[in-house]
Every structure is written in structure tokens, then in C-alpha cells.
A and B are shown apart, each in its own frame.
Chain A
């Protein structure tokens, strides 16, 4: 059984490509800020899991705790600590932006401006923070 119907001029052919959907949200910087918020949130979640477990070693013995804490004092983990500062700082600043979007009456109107402010403050704090973290590492490893 065939369900095909003969081409009829009265029925318009389907458009070859669906026209680009106009969306208030998709592709907006606000969408990418949400993506970053999720990624940094998940990363912080897994770090915190590890961090509670390593701190729990103070109940085992001082030696066990010191041994594990020493892995935090290596160059590669030092770079990961920089990443952690970056992730927590972004998550905190963008979290304030989300709170303002939800609770401040003009929040949605200024959401994009607030994202630029978040990025600006993030850079302004990250540069000196990376400087200090780098100095600690240089002192230790160079």
C-alpha cells in the first residue's frame, strides 16, 4: 500500500530548511552564562566531595591528613586550584546576577549588562588572585 500522494500545486512543498527560529533565549549571552554556571557548579560539586573526604582524614590520624594535603601542594594541583578559584568566583558572581534577575524588578532588562559586569569583576579579581597564587607557587617550586 502506498501512502504517497501525487504532487499537487495546491499543497505547498515543505520548506527545504526550517527558517531560523527567533528566540529570546537561544544564542543569547545569557544562555552561555547558564551553561558556564552549570559546568562550574558541577565542577565545584565534585571538588567539594573530595574536599570533605580529605578533611575527614583529621579523624583518622594527623599523618594521613598531612599526606593527602601534601598532594594539594604540587604544581599540577596548584594549577587546578587556580581553576577552582576561577570556577567558584564565576559561580558566585553569576549567582548574584541570577538572584537579581529573579528578584529585582529591572533584573531581566539589564541581564546582559549585568553579565558584562560579572565578567569585568571576575577579571578584576582573577588577575590579582592568579598573581598571588602564582607567587605562592613560584616561591615553592622555583
Chain B
């Protein structure tokens, strides 16, 4: 590869990384031109770490929740308003629910946003990520509101 094979090499510039090539179509950047960084820096890395660390906790929280809700005692057939009121009577009874919901719902955008970034068109990606964030935000806020303001004497 000693012969000059691009204008940059012919002109003796060795690293044509930062520039546009003006003999290429104006709409095409140099393939190796650095892209301007977008979005939250290192988002994918922290999403990756988050999913793994929260996942370890969620294995126990989610499987425990399923066991209590569906298998223990009479399963789902014993669950009604009174059951929830009894369980949520003390703050410690609610303490398991929030991290479970919160973590789980943070996992949704962190798991899906990076992969959609590599597989979808920009516009589709934007709308899908917005929808995901909207649904997630709504659910986390609603779930937190319900947990914090729960009132067993409501009629």
C-alpha cells in the first residue's frame, strides 16, 4: 500500500480522518470521519452495568414476588384489597415493591434504547425511544404515587 490511493495520500497527508474530501459527493463524509458525540456520554456503558447489577437483585425480588403472589398459600385466589392493605400497612411492607418496580422500569429503556440505536433508522428510533421513555416515566411516577399515598381506609 505504498502508492497514493486517495487525494490525501497523494498530497502527503497521512491521516485523512478529520477532514471532508471535497472530491466526494458533498453529502458523504469521509467513512472514518469522527462523528460528533450525541446523547448522554457513556450511556450504553452505564446501561450495561445497571442491567447486570440490578438484575442480580431483581432475580430475588421478582421470583420472590411471583412466589408470594401466585404459589404460596392459595396463590392469586387470596389476593384482594384487604390483602394489599394488610401488606402495605407498614412502610417495610411497601419497601420491597418500589425497588422492584423502579429498577424494572429503568431497565426497559436502558435495555432497549442501545439496541434500537444500532438497528433502526433515526426517525423510527427517535419515536420508539420517546414512546418507551414516556411509558416508563408515566408508570414509575404512577407506581410511586400509589405506593406513597396508599390509604387503607379509602372507600
Contacts and interface: CB of A to CB of B under 8 A. Distances in A.
Interface of A: 41, 45, 48-49, 52-53, 55-56, 58-59, 61-62, 65-66, 69, 72-73, 78, 81, 84-85, 88-89, 92, 95-96, 98-99, 102-103, 129, 132-133, 136, 139-140
A48 B149 CA distance: 20
Grouping DSSP codes into helix (H, G, I), strand (E, B) and loop, the B interface class, with mixed when no group exceeds half, is helix
B73 to A, nearest CB: 9
Most B CB atoms within 10 A — which of A52, A73, A98? Answer: A52
A85 B75 contact: no
B101 A102 contact: no
B150 A49 contact: no
Contact of A96 (B59, B101, B105, B142): B59
Nearest to B100: A48
A84 B70 CA distance: 10
A81 B149 contact: no
A108 B62 CA distance: 26
Contacts, number: 91
How many chain B residues sit at the interface, stated as a range, is 35 or more
A62 B55 contact: no
Interface of B: 52, 55-56, 58-59, 62-63, 66, 70-71, 74-77, 79-82, 84-85, 101, 104-105, 108, 111, 135, 139, 142-143, 145-146, 149-151, 154-155
A59 B80 contact: no
B76 A72 contact: yes
